Amino acid sequence: MSPLPENTLIGMCNPLLDIQTTVEKAFLDKWGLKENDAILCDDKHNDMFTELTRDFSVEYIPGGAAQNSLRVAQWILNSPNRTVFFGAVGKDQYGELLASKAKEAGVNVQYQINETVKTGTCAALINGTHRSLCAHLAAANTFTQDHLQKEENQKIIEQAKFFYVTGFFITVCPPAILQLASHSAEFNKTFTLNLSAPFISQFFFDKLSEILPFVDVLFGNEDEASAFAKANGWETTCVKEVAVKAAALPKKTTKPRLVVFTQGPDPVIVVEGDKVTEYPVTRLNKEEIVDTNGAGDAFVGGFLSQFIQGKGIEASVSCGCYAAQEIIKKHGCTVPSVCKYH
């Protein structure tokens, strides 16, 4: 058993049930989707969900970015309830399925349950080695800050030493994010954020900018880094330069900001203060790649599983890469029964 206390890491994001299937590029084009992207669906996509469940053989897989990361972290820690999850679901079968899958993985799920709106879903459309995500947030979009004010959740927040919030949640409830972020800064804890998707930097940059001064560890991939650079008005798309600039943005606490940018099979870029390190990634053979849905979430889960134990950055990156590779070899963000990392 790990010596970590219970509720060490809190994750907050949109709990979604992934409706996953393999599609041709023509299907993506028909619904105006890009091959490697994550977007919020609008009304025009309602019929797409109908078509998917009617005409395709689909798998229902528990999703939601931070919830995926926590499930992976728990799998590696192999000690239940070291992590806690906040997010909103409906009072329905999908919500119950998400809760049971997360609890089975060892995550302490503290959902806000909406009696009238259904649990959110996400179309996870696999095309070759690409994955396109189209999320219908539904109940996930109704999360309110008062859920964090509940006495039992206040206790959990006080116990926690690390916080992980996804950029996706910025579209839902910025005040809840700022509450955890300022608590973290005040008590010298560690607050981590994921850029999550290009559209967050493109359309929610003001809110993102309010949160950034509190961020101790910033995660993202190369596409998100590039959108973040553009939103900041930086003239560069070089991932390394963007990481250095992101690390140097104003900060509320004296702890230097750590920036961790993944680039698929290319090296992971890590900037600590002004020190840049590149960590090479072991490439998988094409036949080992089943689908890349959840690879980024798994990387963060692996990284945080070591980082919250006070292991160094190298160990954290190495475990992140291990977790991402295991996830890529399986459908959706599902882990093998045995973790060989130890």
Q: Classify burial at 46, counting beta carbons within 10 Å of its beta carbon; exposed 0-12, middle 13-18, buried 19 or more.
A: exposed
Give whole-number Cα distances, 31 to 27, 42, 132, 235, in Å.
7, 11, 11, 32
Length of the chain (residues): 342
Q: Is 297 a catalytic residue?
A: yes
Alpha-carbon torsion (131, 134, 138, 140), positive or negative? positive
- Beta-carbon-side half-sphere exposure of residue 12 (alpha carbons within 13 Å): 32
Neighbours of 227 (CB within 10 A): 22
Residue owning tokens 């650079």: 229
Q: Which of 216, 223, 291, 297 is catalytic?
A: 297
Q: In this structure, are residues 245 and 212 in contact, taking their beta carbons and an 8 Å threshold?
A: no
Round to whole Å and give the CA distance between 28 and 233.
30
Catalytic residues: 297
